Structure 1
Amino acid sequence: MTAPDLTHVRRMWEQDKASAALGIELLDLDVETTGSGRRLGRARTRMTVTDVMVNGHAIAHGGYVFALADSTFALACNATGRTTVAASCDITYLLPSHLGDVLVATAVERVTYGRSGITDVTVCRATDNAVVAEFRGHSRAVRPQPGR
């Protein structure tokens, strides 16, 4: 079996200024082929909670945790080669994270159907692997813009 060509999604990631500004690092990116022959994306990223990410309760602002999950979702649902964007997303916050915590997000594309897909992302604290948040993203494949 040949390795998937991830050039397009790596190029997308290199151009993602928002994720770069947050210090989100790409750890792993892959495509899994299921027993039925379906190709599904997977991604893993990491982000350290910095002083500008902490809210008035001395915990990480939920928007930053969401951004980490959303960026990881984007990597996974674009890994198979289709230009894909978010149609909707939701997140459940389970535990707080604090200044200095390293968060690791793992995205697994669960299913694709037509131009749509569902991807789950789990955000954990790196020190104890405690689940901080669960995110579900619904994706939609779009036609790439000419010249991009």
Structure 2
Amino acid sequence: MSPGSDPSAQELAEACAAALWADDTASRELGMALDRVAPGEAVLSMTVTGAMTNGHGTAHGGYMFTLADSAFAYACNSRNQRTVAQHCSITYLAPSAIGDRLTAHATERALVGRNGIYDIIVTDQTGRLVAEFRGHSRTVEGTLLGA
């Protein structure tokens, strides 16, 4: 993005996602893909590996949480205002297995002042709902793209 340009909301969301992705070692190292971003929205996906399973042989909930949390981060940072999580919760609805491709779709529900609420659904490759996550965000000082 060149200085002085006036990007559309979509272009801004894409530029913010690219800047965030460049420093997001955790998501990249877990094999996540940033499938789509838009203002207040993001879709990330990840394949469950053997290293991500628990003692029951199913996907460990912490990895599902991490995928949902990453989608939350891209959705709430899509307007070039540095934004962090202030509270998150997840409900696990169905197990996932090695090889399942999980997709987290984050959608902004409310943005009031410095506070936001985001709902993230996590589905598998068949579209089956495996988890629902709600994140509450707080905008802090700074931007992703600089001044």
Q: Taking structure 2 as the reference length, what is the TM-score of the superposition?
A: 0.88
Q: Distance in 1 between matches of 2:140 and 2:103?
A: 28
Equivalent residue number for residue 121 of structure 1: 120
Cα shift at 1:2: 6.6
Equivalent residue number for residue 140 of structure 2: 142
Q: Distance in 2 between matches of 1:141 and 1:80?
A: 10
Q: Would you say the 8 A contact 2:114–2:138 is kept in 1? A: yes
Task: Determine if the alignment matches structure 1 residue 130 to structure 2 residue 138.
Answer: no
Cα shift at 1:4: 3.5
Q: Which runs of 5+ in 2 are unaligned?
A: 1-7
The one-letter amino acid paired with 2:89 is D
Aligned CA distance change for structure 1 residues 135 and 143 (closer, same or farther; 3 Å): same
Equivalent residue number for residue 78 of structure 2: 79
Q: Distance in 2 between matches of 1:8 and 1:76?
A: 10
Q: Taking structure 1 as the reference length, what is the TM-score of the superposition?
A: 0.87
Equivalent residue number for residue 54 of structure 2: 55
Equivalent residue number for residue 44 of structure 2: 45
Aligned length: 137
Render the CA deviation track for 1:17-40: whole Å, top value 9, x for unaligned.
001111110000012xxxxxxxxx
Whichever structure has more strand as a proportion of its residues is 1
Identity %, equivalent residues: 47
Render the CA deviation track for 1:40-66: whole Å, top value 9, x for unaligned.
x11001100001001110000000000
- Structure 1 stretches (4+) deviating beyond 4 angstroms? none
Cα shift at 1:81: 1.9
Render the CA deviation track for 1:72-113: whole Å, top value 9, x for unaligned.
000000112211000000000000000000001100011111
Q: Which runs of 5+ in 1 are unaligned?
A: 32-40
Cα shift at 1:144: 1.8
Q: Distance in 2 between matches of 1:11 and 1:114?
A: 23
